[in-house]
A and B are shown apart, each in its own frame.
Chain A
Amino acid sequence: MFRTLTIFEFKLHLRNFFTLFFALGFPVMMLLLFGAMYGNEPSSLTGDKGTVDLMLPAYTCMIVAVTGLMSLPLAIANYREQKILKRFMATPIQPLQILVSQVVVNSVTTAAGIAFLLIVAQLVYRVQFFGNVLTTLMAFLLVVISIFSLGLVIAGVTPNARAATSLAFIIYFPMLFLSGASIPLYIMPKGMVVVSNFLPLTYGVRLLSGVWLGGHLLDYGLELAVLVGITLLCVGLSTRFFKWE
């Protein structure tokens, strides 16, 4: 039952142009755009790392943002508005399984988006990876969990699909542009950097970039604390306020 449901949801997901474009196409476009502007020549200023090397971990966060803050909450909000959640409640399926299958589908899409991004980056720019694979995966998992739990809050508290879309856009776009996920923060004016400190994804970008480029997890205590805090808060909020109908 759960397997059939997840495959079903995955097929629907693949028919959604918006998600596919922003999860697979857009990050690669950003990569190629910035790569064309700055190239990936190692620079002594950045410790023998190229610009693309530096930006790549941030771009992976861009993918997490679209699956976690747009695709996941909008799918769930639509299901509630179209009374699909309610219809499933009148079957042997547990409504929670629907949420879990959405999380699975969006996780797979995230992984696919990142794989595609890394393949293109490797083929075009011969990027280098400086970190420890296990540490980076752990950091990445934390980013995914915290951003997805934020998405579940968006899905849970909005009264209808239109409100969910508005809220998702309001949260997604500032994070996309001001967290360092798409545009490096060091080229931003000071005010924007201040704003970025209030965006959860900023901490994800910092943590992931840090370990990706060879840092240790424990060097990023603040980032870890913020992401874990967001996760706990969001899981609490969505458990308390999630509306099935």
Chain B
Amino acid sequence: MDVIQVSGLSKSYGALQAVKNVSFNVAEGSVFGLLGPNGAGKTTTMECMIGLKNRSAGNITVLGLDPEKHRHQLFSDVGVQLQETVYQSAAKVFELCQLFTSMYEEPLDYKSLLERFDLGSKAKSSIGSLSGGQRQKLAIVLALIANPRILFLDELTTGLDPGARREIWIYIEQLQREGRTVIMTTHYMEEASLLCDEICLINRGEIVAQGTVDEVIAQAQIDLVITFETDSEVTPLLQNLPHIRHMEQHDSFVTIYTCSEETLTNLILKLSAAAISYRKIKITYPELEEAFLKLVNPATKGAVS
């Protein structure tokens, strides 16, 4: 079941069209990633879904409701972490938690949430004394106090060190296992590959690719790279294999760019038939990051360049 439907969403700020005709659905219990370079329209799209911004055109349904008209009904089912929020540095963690607890009719117990996010010992600390990672974990705790079915996380891990980011990833996986739907924006392709069931890649306000991570990578049509070492001159022998786009040999090092995995089988058969010995054979598949770069800026040729 889809908990969110966005169709034909557009948002303009005066003459600037920040989001153009964006459509996607988010399945219940999935982790959905909105990806794109800075200024692509990710945050605007997300804020239209929460009802913090009024759309210029299109339709949005969140849990069957229009966020623009039924913002207040949605609040207890939707937890939000906003990219730019800086909580009051003089406030103490437990005070902020109590404030959010007072806003909801059936809040989750903030003390156990703090324990779960490893902030139990920080309850009496001021927000100003928390590390970046701790602040982001607190942002999740505050979003979770409502016990929401859907969580919106806007660049939750930006600026965190690798250790803190990995810690957050584990928490996001846990949230999904609890049955919550997560909509996240991120700049980190590694993070999106690991966490997201489905992604939507936006550039200049428009969708350039969407689907599972593998589907988006496939859409970018980036060559696979096969490398191996051999003592023979193999270029003439292999040149006519199907699917190969380009091949190079420097001394014993051979690099083949191909658009099909079959090349690997064909290559090994051909080398064996010719009794040519080879070693260190390796196939490299394109990562989401290369697909991202190619789809966002088609002038970049991904792995080939």
A interface residues with partner B (beta carbon < 8 Å): 1, 3-5, 8, 11-12, 15-16, 82-84, 86-87, 89-93
How far is the CB of A74 from the nearest CB of chain B, in Å?
A: 13
Q: How far is A91 from B148 in the complex, measured between Cα atoms in Å?
A: 11
How far is the CB of A164 from the nearest CB of chain B, in Å?
A: 16
Pair B75/A91 contact, Cβ less than 8 Å: yes
Pair B90/A16 contact, Cβ less than 8 Å: yes
Q: How far is A40 from B146 in the complex, measured between Cα atoms in Å?
A: 59
Say which size band chain B's interface belongs to.
20 to 34
Pair A8/B52 contact, Cβ less than 8 Å: no
- Which residues of B are found within 8 Å of A8, using beta-carbon distances? 91, 95-96, 98-99
Pair A92/B75 contact, Cβ less than 8 Å: yes
Pair A92/B104 contact, Cβ less than 8 Å: yes
B interface residues with partner A (beta carbon < 8 Å): 50-52, 72, 75-76, 78, 80, 82, 84-88, 90-91, 95-96, 98-100, 102-104, 146
Given A82-B86, A92-B104: A4 and B52 within 8 A (CB)?
no
- Which residues of B are found within 8 Å of A15, using beta-carbon distances? 90
Chain A residue at smallest Cβ distance from B105: A92
How far is the CB of B118 from the nearest CB of chain A, in Å?
A: 23
Q: How far is A1 from B104 in the complex, measured between Cα atoms in Å?
A: 8
Q: How far is A3 from B98 in the complex, measured between Cα atoms in Å?
A: 11
Chain A residue at smallest Cβ distance from B139: A87
* A91 contact from B86, B91, B95, B100, Cβ within 8 A: B100
- Which residues of B are found within 8 Å of A82, using beta-carbon distances? 84-88
7 A–B contact pairs at CB < 8 A? A4-B98, A8-B95, A82-B88, A84-B86, A84-B88, A86-B82, A90-B75
Given A90-B78, A91-B103: A84 and B91 within 8 A (CB)?
no
Top-4 shortest CB links A-B: A4-B102, A82-B86, A90-B80, A15-B90
- Which residues of B are found within 8 Å of A86, using beta-carbon distances? 52, 82, 84-85
Q: How far is A92 from B105 in the complex, measured between Cα atoms in Å?
A: 10
Q: How far is A1 from B146 in the complex, measured between Cα atoms in Å?
A: 14
